[in-house]
A and B are shown apart, each in its own frame.
Chain A
């Protein structure tokens, strides 16, 4: 009953661990992929491409350009690059991603994972529970929670800092949003780093400790090389998610006066409030380009590791 080893996969064995150990074969593999790809093709690729096409027209929700839209080529893109509000949205999105994802969630997530390693079970469970709760609660609910914290009159933050009457969301909109999103998404990073740290050989950590290395040195020299790939994967995912995140709208509606209008909020405003779907679609494409740049940076860094 010994079946012959799979011969269909002729790929060179440069990358270890890439062997078709279960004898799937390309044909069956494609079979496994088919249902997912079908769904993706129909409900993701097709509408996405169509949206990109709409970005080349002047389609709007109402008016003459809704029943008879015209193909305008790259006009929408030209307008976007000229539009101060687009530049504003782009800059704010970068701030938001770097502040809350690349720095905020990453650092806090790692710190929590690192310090909880040796913690007592009850402490670990409690902290993890609250952190995960913040991630699981639906966006609309979380928005209300944070509006309560940042509220001008009855807000918790104002009470804690002894400075009631500060309208945090109006005076420091981006800072508030960055803190909010760090709170919101740290769970993912924490879980990821937690698992990654568990895979670091304990012997190396022991050696570092006996050699008197400080915590920081241990992280830098022993831990980081092991988890470098994970750091990049994590950062890529949370950056993409943050760049496309719509929650800022729920807290500040992009205000005051466009001061917290990140790209997803800007797109929403153009599509729904102004009805300019062609323009909004073009901006969506530009957002995709931004995502692409982020992904490419990640790929380059990943390549460098091997």
Chain B
């Protein structure tokens, strides 16, 4: 029995160690390449220097693009989270005919619109609407693409929030809006926070839409700028890319840590967090 337990223990530790290594090791490049005087595509012990940081900070558009990313993503995330929460709540609680089919259809269509082929319709449509070069409009387009999945996940989450709270609140005479704001929202916070982070991450990495719709290089977000960090002839500029990648990764990580600390990070709710 004891041998079996030891075996189990060892297996457990081995699995955890392997898993941890599997996830952590690839990130080492982000720790070494930004500080390496001659960074390559491979991983190596760096020749410590801060020159790459200087080069990145003096890049005319690097830091500005990070600001642009924040603006763009805040718009997209806020819109997505708010609209998705409202829609998910409504779909979860009220039986609207055809809602399931509608949700699946939208989920499928979102795959078409996030692909390259939708490039022309989106571009021409935004052009006809006069919304080219607008950070806000681009944020809305990004939100539109994310909404179906966000609603899908959130609805699943809200489905498992017990209705007893709402019922009690109704008995006490609360209006539906009050029920939503004061009863459901607090309980659903972890799920909403998760969607918020998810939406932000998706928007943060979106390249195609800003590339098409934001013409000025001053207005470009970091996702697009990262692809332009090349040398004269178009080869990847590995002096700046690692540093910029690190800077680019920081805001999303910070957001995750913040949200996870305050609200936890869960997909299904209920009282046990």
With beta carbons under 8 angstroms apart, the residue of B82, B170, B248 that contacts A3 is B170
Most chain A CB within 10 A, of B43, B106, B122, B170, is at B43
Q: Across the two chains, which residue of chain B brings its CB closest to A50?
A: B121
Q: Across the two chains, which residue of chain B brings its CB closest to A61?
A: B120
Q: Are B30 and A24 in contact (CB under 8 A)?
A: no
User: For the complex, what is the distance from the CA of A136 to the CA of B251, rounded to whole Å?
Assistant: 10
Q: On chain B, which size bracket covers the interface? A: 35 or more
Q: Are A3 and B140 in contact (CB under 8 A)?
A: no
Tell me how far the C-beta of B179 lies from the nearest C-beta in chain A, rounded to whole angstroms: 4
Q: Assuming A33-B90, A47-B125, A240-B111, is B268 touching A195 (CB within 8 A)?
A: yes
Q: Across the two chains, which residue of chain A brings its CB closest to B82?
A: A35
Give chain A residues whose Cβ lies under 8 Å from the Cβ of B173. 1-3
Tell me how far the C-beta of A108 lies from the nearest C-beta in chain B, rounded to whole angstroms: 8
User: For the complex, what is the distance from the CA of A300 to the CA of B270, rounded to whole Å?
Assistant: 28
Tell me how far the C-beta of B47 lies from the nearest C-beta in chain A, rounded to whole angstroms: 13
Contact with A along B6-42 (1 / 0, CB 8 A): 0000001001100110111111111001000000111
Determine if B67 is an interface residue (Cβ-Cβ < 8 Å). Answer: no
Tell me how far the C-beta of A77 lies from the nearest C-beta in chain B, rounded to whole angstroms: 14
Q: Are B252 and A267 in contact (CB under 8 A)?
A: no
Determine if A68 is an interface residue (Cβ-Cβ < 8 Å). Answer: no
Q: Are B24 and A144 in contact (CB under 8 A)?
A: no
Q: Are A20 and B93 in contact (CB under 8 A)?
A: yes
User: For the complex, what is the distance from the CA of A2 to the CA of B167, rounded to whole Å?
Assistant: 12
With beta carbons under 8 angstroms apart, the residue of B83, B116, B241, B248 that contacts A36 is B83
With beta carbons under 8 angstroms apart, the residue of B44, B108, B265 that contacts A291 is B108
Contact with A along B192-231 (1 / 0, CB 8 A): 0010010001001101000000000000000100110000
Q: Which of A87-132 contact B (CB under 8 A)?
A: 108, 111-112, 115, 119, 123, 126-127, 130-132
Q: Across the two chains, which residue of chain B brings its CB closest to A296?
A: B104
- Chief secondary structure at chain A's binding surface: helix
Q: Are B90 and A19 in contact (CB under 8 A)?
A: no
Q: On chain A, which size bracket covers the interface? A: 35 or more
Q: Are A21 and B93 in contact (CB under 8 A)?
A: yes
Determine if B186 is an interface residue (Cβ-Cβ < 8 Å). Answer: no
Determine if A81 is an interface residue (Cβ-Cβ < 8 Å). Answer: no
Q: Are B117 and A155 in contact (CB under 8 A)?
A: no
Give chain A residues whose Cβ lies under 8 Å from the Cβ of B120. 51, 54, 59, 277
With beta carbons under 8 angstroms apart, the residue of B26, B109, B226 that contacts A149 is B26
With beta carbons under 8 angstroms apart, the residue of A36, A140, A154, A230 that contacts B41 is A154
Q: Are A144 and B25 in contact (CB under 8 A)?
A: no
Tell me how far the C-beta of A193 lies from the nearest C-beta in chain B, rounded to whole angstroms: 9
User: For the complex, what is the distance from the CA of A47 to the CA of B204, rounded to whole Å?
Assistant: 22
Determine if A284 is an interface residue (Cβ-Cβ < 8 Å). Answer: yes
Q: Are A26 and B94 in contact (CB under 8 A)?
A: yes
Determine if B118 is an interface residue (Cβ-Cβ < 8 Å). Answer: yes
Q: Across the two chains, which residue of chain B brings its CB closest to A11?
A: B95
Determine if A133 is an interface residue (Cβ-Cβ < 8 Å). Answer: yes
Determine if B71 is an interface residue (Cβ-Cβ < 8 Å). Answer: no
Give chain B residues whose Cβ lies under 8 Å from the Cβ of A72. none
With beta carbons under 8 angstroms apart, the residue of B23, B153, B163, B241 that contacts A134 is B23
Q: Are A291 and B111 in contact (CB under 8 A)?
A: yes
| Interface stretch (choices B48-56, B57-65, B144-152) | B144-152
Determine if A297 is an interface residue (Cβ-Cβ < 8 Å). Answer: no
Tell me how far the C-beta of A57 lies from the nearest C-beta in chain B, rounded to whole angstroms: 11
Give chain B residues whose Cβ lies under 8 Å from the Cβ of A19. 93, 163
Give chain B residues whose Cβ lies under 8 Å from the Cβ of A281. 117-118
Q: Across the two chains, which residue of chain B brings its CB closest to A111?
A: B15
With beta carbons under 8 angstroms apart, the residue of A30, A42, A271, A299 that contacts B96 is A30
User: For the complex, what is the distance from the CA of A151 to the CA of B82, rounded to whole Å?
Assistant: 43
Q: Are B252 and A23 in contact (CB under 8 A)?
A: no
Determine if A237 is an interface residue (Cβ-Cβ < 8 Å). Answer: yes
Give chain B residues whose Cβ lies under 8 Å from the Cβ of A133. 23, 27, 253, 256
Give chain B residues whose Cβ lies under 8 Å from the Cβ of A59. 120
**A–B pairs, 7, beta carbons within 8 Å:** A47-B113, A48-B112, A51-B112, A112-B19, A148-B29, A148-B33, A267-B115
Top 8 closest A-B pairs, CB basis? A154-B42, A43-B144, A151-B42, A50-B121, A32-B90, A29-B94, A36-B83, A195-B268
